[in-house]
Structure 1
Amino acid sequence: MSGILIRGASLVGGDRADIRIADGSIVAVGSASAESGDHVIDADGLVALPGLVDLHTHLREPGGEASETVLTGTRAAAAGGFTAVFAMANTTPVADTAGVVEQVEALGRQHGYATVRPIGAVTVGLAGQQLAELGAMASSRAQVRVFSDDGHCVADPLMMRRALEYVAAFDGVVAQHAQEPRLTEGAQMNEGPLSGELGLTGWPAAAEESIIARDVLLAEHTHSRLHVCHVSTAGSVDVVRWAKARGIQVTAEVTPHHLLLTDETARDYDARFKVNPPLRRAEDVAALRAAVADGTIDIVATDHAPHPDESKECAWSEAAFGMVGLESALSVVQHALVDTGMLDWASVARVLSTTPAHIGRLAGYDRPLSVGAPAHLTLVDPAASRTWSPGELRGRSRNTPYTGLTLPGRVVATVHGGVPTVLDGALVDAETVAAAAGTGR
């Protein structure tokens, strides 16, 4: 394949245009003609988005391959329109050394479905006792710029201060899992009348909000960048909004599931809906949607958390926390924010591509869909809809919370660095992607 010609796509500004791709870059936008050997995509009715970027993905490899691998996770990413993912550090061994992050980055390059940027652990073994090799990971081939103990809060304020001070030296960011551990011991779901009714230990909103409040003050004190993972409460939105008004370098993310689902899903003790942080009240969902619309929350990130069936098909109290979300993210954002009139497609590009890339200091997304830019793009059919089922998933795990829901939108094509990874709504086979990406396998 010498190139790709996309005919008549709707750009996020509303204009229709042809887009021609060759040698990994966009070479024409506007009116373009196919050249010999080009693969032609009829994009009538499709929206062209810059390739989506997920700042919060759990790929599980190394050590958790029963749940996901870099290959299966990036295939799921491509199916959802993502061309880059940031892989969380809670693997086995933990990604707390240059060697582990380089291994994860290399696996991403080998498979070719998406750019994989490892997230380095803040502390050794995620234990919160000793800073990990932050500088070594930053200067490694993986060029780590995002550090997180996600799954665990960096609860010690002195440890958090030191981490913020350290990463500031190389323009890194600490992505905090805001969960005060003493306030959430044994917690199973959002604390409220329903948790009492169901007999499940409650998870108070203050456990999240108090850590965010502490950390924005530490970020101000250290003149460093703080990113808040999976904001879930209206109170957290208020704290982030206050910090931004004060000029503190804080960014925040929300997950698709926190934009759509509420704690009412726990009534049937269906562990598909057990997640950390927990699903909250309808009032929190409304506040989170409004915060994305007004820019208080900067990005949407999936927190894609695959688990084997046995970790979810069990009693609620014994089940693992987490949901998969790469394949469904764009559809949920369309349903919750676009179809409700709260975001336009240009804003979708901002919260799902350009801003997460900027936070993670990922090159190639600062001038998307322009001549000379790397060819990372996603074509979506916003008029399509489908009833969600585990059959929509392309990763290794099946713990989706959306089974039975009708969701809008369909990813028709994904192009990563000029290489098609999805065409006509179907994944391109792994050997073809690896060969086209020049990685070999």
Structure 2
Amino acid sequence: MRKLIKDVIYQGELTHVLIDQGQIASIGNMDPNEADYVIDGQGQQVAPGFVDLHVHLREPGGEQKETIATGTQAAARGGFTTICAMPNTNPMPDEEVNLAFIQDLIKRDAFVRVLPYAAITSGQSGESLVDMKQLTKQGAVAFTDDGVGVQSAGTMFEAMQQAAQVGQPVVAHCEDNSLVYGGVMHDGERNKSLNLPGIPSLSESVQIARDVLLAEAAHCHYHVCHVSTKESVRVIRDAKQAGIHVTAEVTPHHLLLSEDDIPSDDAHYKMNPPLRSEVDRQALIEGLEDGTIDCIATDHAPHTKDEKTNGFLTSPFGIVGLETAFPLLYTHFVETGHWSIEQLIDWLAVKPATIFHLPYGRLKMGAPADLVLINITNETAIDSGEFLSKGRNTPFNGYQVKGIPTLTMINGEIVWQKEEAYA
């Protein structure tokens, strides 16, 4: 079936997109009668489906927080068509049988394309390495112990050597546990006023500095998760200038908020890495803009309502982000003239796909018809009660935003559509 999406904004112009056999057949003005099915884009922005390299789906093992079904529905609502699922599940994808089990769940329940990570070490223990060759054959997109940093330099070096042999990235949550000191938020000004233990910036940047040198020696692609400090940006910038194959991501919440925005002992602002200083936030923006940081990833981390009502000391780290990422970033950076919409789309779709050599995230002839339509004119308030994710743990509830996705399509098939958008 040939489908035509008419009257959408692409590269600043009003145009049409023709889809044939799940691929983008043409972009430009054409006769709607050429298509079997026409969608009126109503002057909305069209973009390639977003690609998120950092999502926690929780299933199997944490279905009270999120499931593959609810997490991927949330992704579709947020305009994400390809997401990479972190391995901190139970069972964990640290051996072939477990990865195959998770892949079967994805095939059965997912509304968007899910590419599962495998762990670096068995049980994410930081000790014995997984069989990367076999897990790659089974379909692991990359390897990470996200949630915990690999503490042993020797173990990380051996992991990078093995990953290099199979042509896979090592993806790292960077945190030196000996420098965390039981902290629950950034070690700055706000933790002192709230009388809460702080996490020093050094705990992140020291491990990145170690790892980029290991990656250089191992000839490995090293990807840094959720960069949060100015020192980390500096280390990554220096490593890139030295020719080391390092890439990095930053989250929407670290671009939008700093420790100064934490109003009280409210665990909706508790994430790891924590919200840092305003100086750090500005360094992250600069690092993204100058190419030191390659892309934006949500680190979508759902928790139950009860888990997030106990304050910083005992609540788990993490916030949700799939359904709020684009509107928040569009409103705060594109609407204010700091970025173009093309830059934002590049960081959310093109760059993450490029980093992992994925054939998605591009709006061009012959590419998979993974598309999102975005209403860039209407303003609304974020309402966590409307989330399709099970998680409601966001500090952005009530924020006024523009840039709301209204339709998401994968391989030319609609996987989510805002009910009133095309009435």
Counterpart check, 1:359 vs 2:343: no
Residue 356 and residue 22 in structure 1: after superposition, are their counterparts in 2 closer, same or farther (change >3 A)?
same
Shift of 1:35: 5.0
Change in CA separation of 1:315 and 1:405 when aligned onto 2, cut-off 3 Å: same
In structure 1, runs of 5+ residues without a counterpart are 429-441
User: What is the CA–CA distance in structure 1 between the aligned matches of 2:201 and 2:325, rounded to whole Å?
Assistant: 24
- Structure 2 match to 1:32: 30
Deviations 1:226-254 (A, max 9, x none): 00000011111111111111111000000
Helix, strand or coil at the partner of 2:292: coil
Query: Contact 2:194 / 2:264 at 8 angstroms: preserved in 1?
Result: no
The alignment partner of 2:309 has SS state of: coil
- 2:385 is equivalent to residue 386 of structure 1: no
Give the whole-Å Cα distance in 2 for the aligned partners of 1:246 and 1:18.
44
* Aligned mates of 1:22, 1:271 — CA distance in 2: 47
| Alignment partner, residue 376 of structure 1 | 370
With over 3 angstroms needed to count, the CA separation of the structure-2 counterparts of 1:108 and 1:3, relative to structure 1, is farther
CA distance in 1, matches of 2:421, 2:67: 17
What aligned pairs does 1:120-131 form with structure 2 within 5 A after superposition? 120-131=118-129
Name the structure 2 match of 1:9. Answer: 8
Q: 1:63 is paired with a residue of what secondary structure?
A: coil
Structure 1's 426 and 83: CA in aligned 2 closer, same or farther, altered over 3 A?
Answer: farther
How many angstroms apart in 2 are the aligned matches of 1:337 and 1:237?
Answer: 20
Correspondence for 1:431: none
Correspondences of 1:214-225 after superposition (within 5 Å): 214-225=210-221
Distance 1:84 1:130 in 2: 30
Partner of 1:413: 407
- Per the normalisation by structure 2, the TM-score is 0.95
- The answer to whether the 8 A contact 1:145-1:361 is kept is no
Aligned match of 1:158: 154
Shift of residue 287, structure 1, vs aligned partner = 1.3
Q: Normalised by the size of structure 1, how large is the TM-score?
A: 0.92
> Does residue 301 of the first structure (1) align with residue 301 of the second (2)?
no
1:183 counterpart letter in structure 2: L
The within-5 A match list for 1:37-436 is 38-140=36-138, 143-365=139-361, 368-424=362-418
Name the CA shift for 1:267/1:370 in 2 (closer, same or farther; >3 Å): closer
Residue 423 of structure 1 and its aligned partner are, at CA, apart by 2.2
1:427 deviation in Å? 11
Contact 1:412 1:423 in 2 (8 A): yes
Distance 1:237 1:304, change over 3 A: same
Q: CA deviation at 1:147?
A: 0.9
Q: Is the 8 A contact 1:145 1:171 kept in 2?
A: no
Secondary structure at 2:82 match in 1: strand
Count of aligned pairs between the two proteins: 422
In 2, the alpha carbon distance for the partners of 1:306 and 1:106 equals 22
Q: 1:47, CA displacement in angstroms? A: 1.2
How big is the shift at 1:145? 3.1
8 Å Cα contact 2:132/2:166 also seen in 1:
no
Deviation at 1:221, TM superposition (A): 1.1
Deviation at 1:188, TM superposition (A): 0.7
Q: Which amino acid aligns with 2:375?
A: D
Secondary structure of 2:369's aligned partner: coil
Give the counterpart letter for 1:421 in structure 2.
V
Aligned residues: CA RMSD? 1.8
SS at match of 1:398: coil
CA distance in 2 between partners of 1:33 and 1:102 (Å):
46
CA contact (8 A) 1:272 1:323 kept: yes
Letter of the 2:112 partner, please give it.
Answer: A
When structure 1 is superposed on structure 2, of 236-245 and 79-88 the one drifting more is: 236-245
Unpaired stretches in structure 2, ≥5 consecutive residues: none
Query: For 2:263 and 2:374, how far apart are their aligned partners in 1?
Result: 34
In 1, the alpha carbon distance for the partners of 2:264 and 2:363 equals: 45
Listed one character per residue, the Cα deviations across residues 287-320 of structure 1 (whole Å, up to 9, x for unaligned) are 1112111111100000000011111011321101
Q: CA deviation at 1:73?
A: 0.5
> Shift of the alpha carbon at 1:278?
0.4
- Look up the equivalent residue of 1:320 and give its one-letter code: P
1:26 and 1:312, CA in 2 relative to 1: closer, same or farther beyond 3 A? same
SS of structure 2 residue aligned to 1:312:
helix
Q: Which moved more, 1:55-64 or 1:112-121?
A: 112-121
- 3-state SS in 1 of match to 2:378: strand
The answer as to whether partners of 1:421 and 1:427 remain within 8 angstroms in 2 is no
Report Cα offsets for 1:397-422 as digits up to 9, x if no partner.
21111012112211011101111012
Would you say the 8 A contact 1:219–1:226 is kept in 2? yes
Q: What one-letter code is carried by the residue in structure 2 that aligns with 1:9?
A: V
Residues 107 and 31 of structure 1: is their aligned pair in 2 closer, same or farther, counting only changes over 3 Å? farther
Query: Distance in 2 between the 1:421 and 1:344 partners?
Result: 27
State the AA in 1 paired with 2:246. V
Kept in 1, the 8 Å contact 2:71–2:389? The answer is yes
**CA distance in structure 1 between the partners assigned to 2:421 and 2:9 by the alignment:** 22
Q: Whole-Å Cα distance in 2 between the matches of residues 39 and 341 of structure 1?
A: 36
Preserved contact between residue 413 and residue 422 of structure 1 (Cα < 8 Å): yes
Go from structure 1 to structure 2 and tell me whether the alpha carbon gap of 1:427 and 1:191 turns closer, same or farther (over 3 Å shift): farther
Contact 2:181 2:198 in 1 (8 A): no
Task: State the secondary structure of the residue aligned to 1:53.
Answer: strand
For the residues of structure 1 that align with 2:102 and 2:13, how far apart are their CA atoms? 39
| Identity over aligned pairs, percent | 39
